Chain A
Amino acid sequence: MNNVLYAILVLGALGAVFGFVLAYASKVFAVKVDERQEEILSVLPGANCGGCGFPGCSGYAAAVVEGRAATNLCVAGGAACTAKISAIMGTESGSTEKCVAFVRCSGINNSVKKYDFAGVSDCLSASLLPGKGPAECTFACLGLGSCVSACRFDAIHVIDGAAVVDKEKCVGCMACAQKCPKNLIAKVPYSAKVTIPCSSKEKGPVTNKMCSVGCIACKLCEKACPNDAVHVVDNLAVIDYSKCDGCGACAQKCPRKLIKLSDTVKN
Protein backbone atom coordinates (compact mmCIF):
# COMPACT_ATOMS: atom_id res chain seq x y z
CA MET A 1 0.00 0.00 0.00
CA ASN A 2 2.84 2.30 0.88
CA ASN A 3 4.35 1.72 -2.55
CA VAL A 4 1.23 2.99 -4.25
CA LEU A 5 1.13 6.02 -1.95
CA TYR A 6 4.79 6.79 -2.64
CA ALA A 7 4.25 6.53 -6.36
CA ILE A 8 1.31 8.91 -6.27
CA LEU A 9 3.09 11.32 -3.98
CA VAL A 10 6.40 11.33 -5.86
CA LEU A 11 4.91 11.77 -9.30
CA GLY A 12 2.38 14.27 -8.01
CA ALA A 13 5.13 16.25 -6.31
CA LEU A 14 7.34 16.02 -9.39
CA GLY A 15 4.54 17.28 -11.60
CA ALA A 16 3.68 20.06 -9.18
CA VAL A 17 7.32 21.17 -8.89
CA PHE A 18 7.77 21.21 -12.66
CA GLY A 19 4.48 23.06 -12.98
CA PHE A 20 5.55 25.75 -10.55
CA VAL A 21 9.02 26.03 -12.10
CA LEU A 22 7.49 26.46 -15.56
CA ALA A 23 4.94 28.96 -14.31
CA TYR A 24 7.71 30.93 -12.64
CA ALA A 25 9.96 30.64 -15.69
CA SER A 26 7.23 31.90 -17.99
CA LYS A 27 7.13 35.07 -15.85
CA VAL A 28 10.91 35.47 -15.55
CA PHE A 29 11.75 34.62 -19.12
CA ALA A 30 8.73 36.30 -20.67
CA VAL A 31 9.67 37.97 -23.92
CA LYS A 32 7.64 41.06 -24.56
CA VAL A 33 5.82 40.74 -27.84
CA ASP A 34 3.62 43.73 -28.50
CA GLU A 35 0.12 42.35 -28.02
CA ARG A 36 -1.18 44.66 -30.71
CA GLN A 37 0.85 42.58 -33.18
CA GLU A 38 -1.19 39.48 -32.32
CA GLU A 39 -4.43 41.48 -32.51
CA ILE A 40 -3.58 42.92 -35.90
CA LEU A 41 -2.61 39.49 -37.16
CA SER A 42 -5.99 38.17 -36.07
CA VAL A 43 -7.92 40.80 -38.07
CA LEU A 44 -5.79 40.40 -41.20
CA PRO A 45 -7.20 38.00 -43.79
CA GLY A 46 -4.23 35.62 -43.50
CA ALA A 47 -3.89 35.21 -47.25
CA ASN A 48 -0.16 36.05 -47.12
CA CYS A 49 -0.55 37.52 -50.61
CA GLY A 50 2.22 40.10 -50.23
CA GLY A 51 0.04 42.84 -51.71
CA CYS A 52 1.10 45.16 -48.86
CA GLY A 53 4.79 44.79 -49.75
CA PHE A 54 5.73 42.89 -46.59
CA PRO A 55 6.57 39.19 -46.25
CA GLY A 56 3.17 37.82 -45.33
CA CYS A 57 0.54 38.95 -42.87
CA SER A 58 2.75 38.53 -39.79
CA GLY A 59 5.47 40.66 -41.41
CA TYR A 60 2.93 43.39 -42.08
CA ALA A 61 1.53 43.18 -38.53
CA ALA A 62 5.04 43.61 -37.09
CA ALA A 63 5.73 46.54 -39.44
CA VAL A 64 2.50 48.31 -38.43
CA VAL A 65 3.27 47.95 -34.74
CA GLU A 66 6.79 49.27 -35.23
CA GLY A 67 5.38 52.23 -37.14
CA ARG A 68 7.12 51.26 -40.37
CA ALA A 69 3.88 50.77 -42.29
CA ALA A 70 0.57 52.59 -42.70
CA THR A 71 -2.60 50.91 -41.50
CA ASN A 72 -4.30 50.93 -44.90
CA LEU A 73 -1.93 48.74 -46.91
CA CYS A 74 -3.86 45.47 -46.71
CA VAL A 75 -5.52 45.18 -50.10
CA ALA A 76 -7.07 41.80 -49.46
CA GLY A 77 -8.86 42.95 -46.28
CA GLY A 78 -9.93 46.26 -47.76
CA ALA A 79 -11.56 49.13 -45.89
CA ALA A 80 -13.04 46.95 -43.13
CA CYS A 81 -9.63 45.55 -42.31
CA THR A 82 -8.04 49.00 -42.37
CA ALA A 83 -10.64 50.30 -39.93
CA LYS A 84 -9.94 47.42 -37.51
CA ILE A 85 -6.17 47.89 -37.69
CA SER A 86 -6.55 51.62 -37.16
CA ALA A 87 -8.76 50.98 -34.14
CA ILE A 88 -6.11 48.68 -32.65
CA MET A 89 -3.35 51.18 -33.32
CA GLY A 90 -5.50 54.10 -32.19
CA THR A 91 -4.88 56.13 -35.34
CA GLU A 92 -7.09 57.66 -37.98
CA SER A 93 -7.49 55.43 -40.97
CA GLY A 94 -6.50 56.96 -44.25
CA SER A 95 -9.32 56.50 -46.72
CA THR A 96 -8.69 53.78 -49.25
CA GLU A 97 -10.36 53.52 -52.59
CA LYS A 98 -10.68 49.84 -53.34
CA CYS A 99 -8.73 49.03 -56.49
CA VAL A 100 -8.86 45.96 -58.64
CA ALA A 101 -6.70 44.61 -61.44
CA PHE A 102 -7.80 45.16 -65.01
CA VAL A 103 -6.42 43.54 -68.16
CA ARG A 104 -5.91 46.17 -70.83
CA CYS A 105 -6.43 43.94 -73.84
CA SER A 106 -9.42 42.25 -75.44
CA GLY A 107 -7.45 39.14 -76.24
CA ILE A 108 -5.35 37.43 -78.85
CA ASN A 109 -8.42 36.19 -80.72
CA ASN A 110 -9.09 39.73 -81.97
CA SER A 111 -5.59 40.03 -83.38
CA VAL A 112 -4.13 38.69 -86.60
CA LYS A 113 -1.86 35.74 -85.75
CA LYS A 114 1.67 35.49 -87.05
CA TYR A 115 1.95 31.78 -86.30
CA ASP A 116 0.41 29.09 -84.13
CA PHE A 117 2.05 28.68 -80.76
CA ALA A 118 2.29 25.14 -79.43
CA GLY A 119 4.96 25.54 -76.77
CA VAL A 120 4.91 25.67 -72.98
CA SER A 121 1.75 27.29 -71.67
CA ASP A 122 3.58 30.25 -70.19
CA CYS A 123 3.30 33.86 -71.32
CA LEU A 124 6.94 34.74 -70.65
CA SER A 125 8.28 31.91 -72.84
CA ALA A 126 5.85 32.80 -75.62
CA SER A 127 6.68 36.50 -75.45
CA LEU A 128 10.40 35.78 -75.90
CA LEU A 129 9.79 34.21 -79.31
CA PRO A 130 10.56 36.15 -82.51
CA GLY A 131 8.07 38.99 -82.98
CA LYS A 132 7.28 38.98 -79.22
CA GLY A 133 4.84 36.13 -79.42
CA PRO A 134 2.29 34.67 -81.83
CA ALA A 135 0.05 37.76 -82.06
CA GLU A 136 0.63 40.36 -84.75
CA CYS A 137 -0.05 43.02 -82.09
CA THR A 138 2.93 43.10 -79.73
CA PHE A 139 0.70 44.49 -76.97
CA ALA A 140 -1.73 41.56 -77.09
CA CYS A 141 -2.69 39.33 -74.19
CA LEU A 142 -1.36 35.90 -75.17
CA GLY A 143 -4.03 34.12 -73.15
CA LEU A 144 -1.66 31.47 -71.78
CA GLY A 145 -2.59 32.19 -68.18
CA SER A 146 0.61 33.10 -66.32
CA CYS A 147 -1.52 35.61 -64.41
CA VAL A 148 -4.10 32.92 -63.62
CA SER A 149 -1.53 30.77 -61.85
CA ALA A 150 -0.18 33.83 -59.99
CA CYS A 151 -3.61 34.69 -58.53
CA ARG A 152 -4.27 33.40 -55.03
CA PHE A 153 -7.89 34.47 -55.01
CA ASP A 154 -9.20 32.68 -58.11
CA ALA A 155 -10.04 36.10 -59.51
CA ILE A 156 -8.50 36.03 -62.98
CA HIS A 157 -9.32 33.58 -65.75
CA VAL A 158 -8.62 33.22 -69.44
CA ILE A 159 -11.88 33.54 -71.33
CA ASP A 160 -11.81 33.34 -75.15
CA GLY A 161 -8.08 33.99 -75.34
CA ALA A 162 -8.04 36.96 -72.99
CA ALA A 163 -7.35 37.16 -69.29
CA VAL A 164 -10.39 38.63 -67.53
CA VAL A 165 -10.49 39.79 -63.94
CA ASP A 166 -13.50 38.98 -61.78
CA LYS A 167 -13.64 42.24 -59.89
CA GLU A 168 -15.80 40.83 -57.11
CA LYS A 169 -13.08 38.35 -56.23
CA CYS A 170 -10.07 40.56 -56.99
CA VAL A 171 -8.44 42.16 -53.94
CA GLY A 172 -5.98 44.29 -55.90
CA CYS A 173 -2.75 42.65 -54.73
CA MET A 174 -1.46 42.90 -58.31
CA ALA A 175 0.42 39.60 -58.14
CA CYS A 176 -0.88 38.93 -61.67
CA ALA A 177 0.52 42.23 -62.97
CA GLN A 178 4.02 41.19 -61.94
CA LYS A 179 3.76 37.98 -63.99
CA CYS A 180 2.47 39.63 -67.18
CA PRO A 181 5.39 39.95 -69.64
CA LYS A 182 3.38 42.43 -71.73
CA ASN A 183 2.65 44.62 -68.71
CA LEU A 184 -1.04 44.66 -69.58
CA ILE A 185 -2.54 44.52 -66.11
CA ALA A 186 -3.22 47.85 -64.44
CA LYS A 187 -4.90 48.96 -61.25
CA VAL A 188 -8.29 50.59 -61.70
CA PRO A 189 -10.77 51.71 -59.07
CA TYR A 190 -13.37 49.09 -58.15
CA SER A 191 -16.00 51.75 -58.90
CA ALA A 192 -14.69 52.41 -62.43
CA LYS A 193 -17.67 52.58 -64.78
CA VAL A 194 -15.79 52.82 -68.05
CA THR A 195 -12.84 50.68 -69.12
CA ILE A 196 -10.67 50.50 -72.20
CA PRO A 197 -9.33 46.99 -72.77
CA CYS A 198 -6.44 47.87 -75.08
CA SER A 199 -2.76 48.69 -74.65
CA SER A 200 -1.70 49.19 -78.23
CA LYS A 201 0.57 52.19 -78.71
CA GLU A 202 0.89 51.59 -82.44
CA LYS A 203 -0.41 54.28 -84.78
CA GLY A 204 -4.07 54.03 -85.78
CA PRO A 205 -3.70 52.44 -89.25
CA VAL A 206 -1.27 49.81 -87.92
CA THR A 207 -3.62 48.80 -85.11
CA ASN A 208 -6.53 48.86 -87.52
CA LYS A 209 -4.86 46.25 -89.73
CA MET A 210 -3.77 43.82 -87.04
CA CYS A 211 -6.62 43.94 -84.53
CA SER A 212 -10.39 44.06 -84.96
CA VAL A 213 -11.09 46.00 -81.76
CA GLY A 214 -7.86 47.83 -80.78
CA CYS A 215 -7.72 51.58 -80.17
CA ILE A 216 -6.96 53.45 -83.39
CA ALA A 217 -6.42 56.79 -81.68
CA CYS A 218 -9.25 58.50 -83.57
CA LYS A 219 -9.89 60.85 -80.62
CA LEU A 220 -13.67 60.64 -81.02
CA CYS A 221 -13.95 59.70 -77.35
CA GLU A 222 -11.85 62.68 -76.37
CA LYS A 223 -14.22 65.00 -78.20
CA ALA A 224 -17.34 63.27 -76.89
CA CYS A 225 -16.33 63.44 -73.21
CA PRO A 226 -18.11 66.28 -71.36
CA ASN A 227 -15.76 66.00 -68.35
CA ASP A 228 -12.37 66.10 -70.08
CA ALA A 229 -11.70 62.66 -68.57
CA VAL A 230 -10.44 60.70 -71.57
CA HIS A 231 -7.35 61.56 -73.58
CA VAL A 232 -5.40 59.89 -76.32
CA VAL A 233 -1.81 59.51 -75.14
CA ASP A 234 0.76 57.66 -77.28
CA ASN A 235 -1.97 56.60 -79.74
CA LEU A 236 -4.02 55.08 -76.93
CA ALA A 237 -7.15 56.38 -75.19
CA VAL A 238 -6.67 56.60 -71.42
CA ILE A 239 -9.33 57.42 -68.82
CA ASP A 240 -8.64 59.69 -65.86
CA TYR A 241 -10.85 58.07 -63.22
CA SER A 242 -10.75 61.13 -60.98
CA LYS A 243 -12.74 63.04 -63.60
CA CYS A 244 -14.84 60.29 -65.20
CA ASP A 245 -18.47 60.21 -64.03
CA GLY A 246 -19.41 57.22 -66.14
CA CYS A 247 -21.82 58.99 -68.52
CA GLY A 248 -20.83 56.62 -71.31
CA ALA A 249 -20.66 59.25 -74.07
CA CYS A 250 -17.23 57.95 -75.14
CA ALA A 251 -18.47 54.37 -75.35
CA GLN A 252 -21.27 55.42 -77.68
CA LYS A 253 -18.92 57.28 -80.00
CA CYS A 254 -16.16 54.65 -80.14
CA PRO A 255 -16.14 53.32 -83.72
CA ARG A 256 -14.39 50.10 -82.60
CA LYS A 257 -16.84 49.40 -79.73
CA LEU A 258 -13.71 49.11 -77.60
CA ILE A 259 -14.73 51.33 -74.70
CA LYS A 260 -16.90 49.32 -72.34
CA LEU A 261 -19.42 50.40 -69.73
CA SER A 262 -19.10 48.26 -66.63
CA ASP A 263 -22.71 47.05 -66.65
CA THR A 264 -22.40 45.65 -70.12
CA VAL A 265 -19.13 43.77 -69.77
CA LYS A 266 -17.90 40.96 -67.59
CA ASN A 267 -15.30 43.12 -65.93
Chain B
Amino acid sequence: MIARILSISLGAVLVENFILVKFLGICPFLGVSKKTDTAVGMGFAVIFVMGLASVFCWLVNYLLLVPLKLQYMQTVAYILVIAALVQFVEMFLQKTMPTLYQALGIYLPLITTNCAVLGVALLNTQYNYGLIESLVYGVMGGVGFTVAIFLFASVRERLEFADFPKAFEGFPIALVSAGLIALAFMGFSGLKIW
Protein backbone atom coordinates (compact mmCIF):
# COMPACT_ATOMS: atom_id res chain seq x y z
CA MET B 1 0.00 0.00 0.00
CA ILE B 2 2.80 2.39 0.95
CA ALA B 3 4.59 1.58 -2.28
CA ARG B 4 1.40 2.32 -4.21
CA ILE B 5 0.93 5.64 -2.43
CA LEU B 6 4.55 6.61 -3.09
CA SER B 7 4.28 5.76 -6.77
CA ILE B 8 1.02 7.74 -7.08
CA SER B 9 2.67 10.70 -5.32
CA LEU B 10 5.74 10.61 -7.53
CA GLY B 11 3.55 10.30 -10.59
CA ALA B 12 1.34 13.23 -9.61
CA VAL B 13 4.18 15.57 -8.70
CA LEU B 14 6.73 14.85 -11.41
CA VAL B 15 5.82 12.32 -14.10
CA GLU B 16 2.27 13.50 -14.72
CA ASN B 17 2.53 17.02 -13.39
CA PHE B 18 -0.88 18.64 -13.82
CA ILE B 19 0.38 21.84 -15.37
CA LEU B 20 3.52 20.92 -17.22
CA VAL B 21 2.59 17.49 -18.55
CA LYS B 22 -1.22 17.39 -18.54
CA PHE B 23 -1.61 21.12 -19.25
CA LEU B 24 -4.48 21.57 -16.81
CA GLY B 25 -4.90 24.71 -14.71
CA ILE B 26 -2.95 26.92 -17.12
CA CYS B 27 -5.04 30.00 -16.28
CA PRO B 28 -3.83 30.49 -12.68
CA PHE B 29 -0.41 29.23 -13.76
CA LEU B 30 -0.04 32.25 -16.04
CA GLY B 31 -2.24 34.61 -14.04
CA VAL B 32 -0.73 34.52 -10.56
CA SER B 33 2.89 33.66 -11.28
CA LYS B 34 4.36 37.15 -11.32
CA LYS B 35 5.63 36.94 -7.76
CA THR B 36 6.80 33.84 -5.91
CA ASP B 37 4.90 34.57 -2.69
CA THR B 38 1.51 34.93 -4.38
CA ALA B 39 2.33 31.86 -6.48
CA VAL B 40 2.98 29.82 -3.34
CA GLY B 41 -0.25 31.17 -1.78
CA MET B 42 -2.18 30.01 -4.82
CA GLY B 43 -0.35 26.68 -4.68
CA PHE B 44 -1.43 25.97 -1.11
CA ALA B 45 -5.02 26.93 -1.89
CA VAL B 46 -4.96 24.45 -4.80
CA ILE B 47 -3.51 21.66 -2.63
CA PHE B 48 -6.26 22.26 -0.11
CA VAL B 49 -9.12 22.30 -2.61
CA MET B 50 -7.82 19.43 -4.76
CA GLY B 51 -7.51 17.16 -1.73
CA LEU B 52 -11.03 17.97 -0.56
CA ALA B 53 -12.52 17.78 -4.05
CA SER B 54 -10.98 14.33 -4.67
CA VAL B 55 -12.57 12.91 -1.55
CA PHE B 56 -16.00 14.45 -2.04
CA CYS B 57 -16.19 13.61 -5.72
CA TRP B 58 -15.19 10.02 -4.92
CA LEU B 59 -18.00 9.83 -2.36
CA VAL B 60 -20.57 11.30 -4.75
CA ASN B 61 -19.44 8.99 -7.53
CA TYR B 62 -19.42 5.70 -5.61
CA LEU B 63 -22.34 6.37 -3.26
CA LEU B 64 -24.68 8.05 -5.71
CA LEU B 65 -23.76 7.89 -9.39
CA VAL B 66 -22.47 4.31 -9.71
CA PRO B 67 -25.40 2.61 -7.88
CA LEU B 68 -27.86 4.51 -10.08
CA LYS B 69 -25.76 3.90 -13.26
CA LEU B 70 -25.43 7.64 -13.84
CA GLN B 71 -21.68 7.69 -14.55
CA TYR B 72 -22.31 9.70 -17.69
CA MET B 73 -23.34 12.61 -15.44
CA GLN B 74 -19.96 12.64 -13.66
CA THR B 75 -18.67 15.90 -15.12
CA VAL B 76 -21.84 17.81 -14.29
CA ALA B 77 -22.08 16.36 -10.80
CA TYR B 78 -18.40 17.06 -10.08
CA ILE B 79 -18.70 20.67 -11.15
CA LEU B 80 -21.63 21.02 -8.78
CA VAL B 81 -19.73 19.38 -5.93
CA ILE B 82 -16.58 21.44 -6.43
CA ALA B 83 -18.39 24.77 -6.73
CA ALA B 84 -20.46 24.13 -3.61
CA LEU B 85 -17.45 22.78 -1.73
CA VAL B 86 -15.28 25.80 -2.43
CA GLN B 87 -18.06 28.16 -1.40
CA PHE B 88 -18.59 26.23 1.80
CA VAL B 89 -14.88 26.05 2.61
CA GLU B 90 -14.57 29.78 2.03
CA MET B 91 -17.34 30.55 4.52
CA PHE B 92 -16.02 28.00 6.98
CA LEU B 93 -12.50 29.41 6.90
CA GLN B 94 -13.67 33.01 7.16
CA LYS B 95 -15.43 32.17 10.40
CA THR B 96 -13.10 29.66 12.02
CA MET B 97 -9.62 30.42 10.69
CA PRO B 98 -9.47 34.11 9.70
CA THR B 99 -5.67 34.05 9.39
CA LEU B 100 -5.72 31.18 6.88
CA TYR B 101 -8.61 32.89 5.10
CA GLN B 102 -6.55 36.09 4.85
CA ALA B 103 -3.57 34.13 3.56
CA LEU B 104 -5.53 32.31 0.83
CA GLY B 105 -7.47 35.47 0.13
CA ILE B 106 -8.79 35.87 -3.38
CA TYR B 107 -7.30 32.59 -4.59
CA LEU B 108 -9.86 30.36 -2.93
CA PRO B 109 -12.88 31.54 -4.98
CA LEU B 110 -10.69 31.66 -8.08
CA ILE B 111 -10.11 27.92 -7.80
CA THR B 112 -13.84 27.17 -8.12
CA THR B 113 -13.56 27.14 -11.87
CA ASN B 114 -10.07 25.70 -12.13
CA CYS B 115 -9.89 22.83 -14.59
CA ALA B 116 -7.08 21.14 -12.61
CA VAL B 117 -9.56 20.54 -9.78
CA LEU B 118 -12.19 19.09 -12.08
CA GLY B 119 -9.41 17.18 -13.82
CA VAL B 120 -8.23 15.48 -10.65
CA ALA B 121 -11.77 14.32 -9.84
CA LEU B 122 -12.31 12.89 -13.33
CA LEU B 123 -8.88 11.23 -13.42
CA ASN B 124 -9.50 9.59 -10.06
CA THR B 125 -12.57 7.97 -11.57
CA GLN B 126 -10.78 7.08 -14.79
CA TYR B 127 -7.93 5.37 -12.91
CA ASN B 128 -10.41 3.57 -10.60
CA TYR B 129 -8.65 4.87 -7.49
CA GLY B 130 -9.98 4.03 -4.02
CA LEU B 131 -10.80 6.68 -1.42
CA ILE B 132 -7.29 6.94 0.05
CA GLU B 133 -5.63 6.74 -3.33
CA SER B 134 -7.91 9.54 -4.56
CA LEU B 135 -6.99 11.70 -1.59
CA VAL B 136 -3.27 11.10 -2.16
CA TYR B 137 -3.59 11.78 -5.88
CA GLY B 138 -5.52 15.00 -5.21
CA VAL B 139 -3.11 16.36 -2.60
CA MET B 140 -0.02 15.35 -4.56
CA GLY B 141 -1.48 16.77 -7.75
CA GLY B 142 -1.81 20.02 -5.82
CA VAL B 143 1.80 19.73 -4.67
CA GLY B 144 2.82 19.22 -8.31
CA PHE B 145 0.86 22.38 -9.19
CA THR B 146 2.66 24.28 -6.43
CA VAL B 147 6.08 23.06 -7.58
CA ALA B 148 5.36 24.06 -11.17
CA ILE B 149 3.92 27.50 -10.36
CA PHE B 150 6.75 28.23 -7.91
CA LEU B 151 9.41 27.29 -10.48
CA PHE B 152 7.66 29.35 -13.12
CA ALA B 153 7.25 32.37 -10.83
CA SER B 154 10.97 32.23 -9.96
CA VAL B 155 11.83 32.20 -13.65
CA ARG B 156 9.46 35.11 -14.33
CA GLU B 157 10.97 37.18 -11.53
CA ARG B 158 14.34 36.80 -13.21
CA LEU B 159 12.86 37.60 -16.61
CA GLU B 160 12.16 41.09 -15.25
CA PHE B 161 15.89 41.77 -15.45
CA ALA B 162 16.61 39.81 -18.60
CA ASP B 163 17.46 41.46 -21.88
CA PHE B 164 15.33 40.20 -24.76
CA PRO B 165 13.77 41.68 -27.90
CA LYS B 166 10.96 44.15 -27.22
CA ALA B 167 8.43 42.06 -29.13
CA PHE B 168 8.84 39.31 -26.51
CA GLU B 169 8.04 41.47 -23.50
CA GLY B 170 5.29 40.30 -21.16
CA PHE B 171 3.28 37.22 -22.05
CA PRO B 172 5.23 36.01 -25.11
CA ILE B 173 8.45 35.45 -23.15
CA ALA B 174 6.43 33.98 -20.25
CA LEU B 175 4.84 31.45 -22.60
CA VAL B 176 8.21 30.60 -24.15
CA SER B 177 9.73 29.96 -20.72
CA ALA B 178 6.65 27.95 -19.67
CA GLY B 179 7.21 25.78 -22.73
CA LEU B 180 10.86 25.26 -21.84
CA ILE B 181 9.99 24.25 -18.27
CA ALA B 182 7.38 21.84 -19.66
CA LEU B 183 10.04 20.34 -21.94
CA ALA B 184 12.28 19.82 -18.91
CA PHE B 185 9.44 18.05 -17.11
CA MET B 186 9.00 15.72 -20.09
CA GLY B 187 12.34 14.32 -18.96
CA PHE B 188 10.59 12.73 -15.98
CA SER B 189 8.26 10.72 -18.21
CA GLY B 190 10.48 7.63 -18.14
CA LEU B 191 10.81 7.74 -14.34
CA LYS B 192 9.62 4.56 -12.64
CA ILE B 193 10.54 3.10 -9.25
CA TRP B 194 8.18 0.18 -8.89
Q: Which of B70, B94, B96 has the most CB of A within 10 A?
A: B70
A10: chain B residues at CB < 8 Å are 64-65, 68, 70, 73, 77
Nearest-Cβ distance from residue B68 to partner chain A, whole angstroms: 5
Would you call A25 and B92 a contact (CB within 8 A)?
A: yes
Q: B76 contacts the other chain (Cβ, under 8 Å)?
A: yes
A7 to B69, CA, bound (A): 9
Nearest residue, chain B, Cβ from A6? B68
CB of B51 to closest CB in A, whole Å:
19
- Does the CB pair B95–A31 fall under 8 Å? yes
Q: Known contacts A6-B70, A7-B70, A10-B65; is A15 also within 8 Å of B80 by CB?
A: yes
Asked whether, in the complex, the Cβ of B92 is within 8 Å of the Cβ of A29, the reply is: yes
Tell me if B113 counts as interface (CB < 8 A to partner A).
no
Q: Which partner residue on chain A sits nearest B64 by CB separation?
A: A10
**Mask for B144-160, Cβ within 8 A of A = 1, else 0?**
00000000000000000
Number of residues on chain A facing chain B (CB within 8 A)? 16
Does B123 belong to the interface (CB within 8 Å)?
no
Neighbouring B residues of A7 by C-beta, 8 Å: 70, 73
Stretch with Cβ within 8 A of A (4 or more), from B12-20, B83-91, B127-135: B83-91
The answer to whether A18 has its CB under 8 Å from any CB of chain B is: yes
A14 lies within 8 A of B95 (CB): no
Q: Is A11 a contact partner of B69 (Cβ separation < 8 A)?
A: no
**A159 proximal to B (CB < 8 A):** no
Contact with A along B174-188 (1 / 0, CB 8 A): 000000000000000
Total of A-B residue pairs, C-beta within 8 Å: 46
User: Quick one: closest B residue to A3, CB to CB?
Assistant: B69
Nearest CB in chain B: distance from A8 CB, A: 10
Q: Which residues of B contact A31 (CB under 8 A)?
A: 94-95, 98
- B6 on the A face (CB < 8 A): no
Task: Kindly state whether residue B60 has any CB partner on chain A within 8 Å.
Answer: yes
**B88 near A21 (CB under 8 angstroms)?**
yes
| A206 lies within 8 A of chain B by Cβ | no
Interface string of B72-109 (1 = CB under 8 A from A): 01001100110010011001101110100000000000
| Complex Cα–Cα for A26 and B95 (A) | 10
User: Could you tell me if B80 and A18 are in contact, using CB atoms closer than 8 angstroms?
Assistant: yes
| Given A3-B69, A6-B70, A11-B91 contact (CB < 8 Å) | no
Q: Is A22 among interface residues, defined by CB-CB distance under 8 A? A: yes
Residues of chain A within 8 A (CB-CB) of B80 are 11, 14-15, 18
Q: Which residues of A contact B77 (CB under 8 A)?
A: 10-11, 14
Within 8 A of A (CB), among B38-80: 60, 64-65, 68-70, 73, 76-77, 80
Whether B88 and A22, one on each chain, are in contact in the complex, defined by CB atoms closer than 8 angstroms, is yes
For B73, the closest partner residue in chain A by CB is: A7
**Contacts of B8-47 to chain A: CB distance below 8 A:** none
The 6 closest A-B pairs by CB, nearest first: A18-B84, A29-B95, A29-B91, A25-B91, A6-B68, A31-B94
Which A residues form the contact surface with B (CB < 8 A)? 3, 6-7, 10-11, 14-15, 18, 21-22, 25-26, 28-31
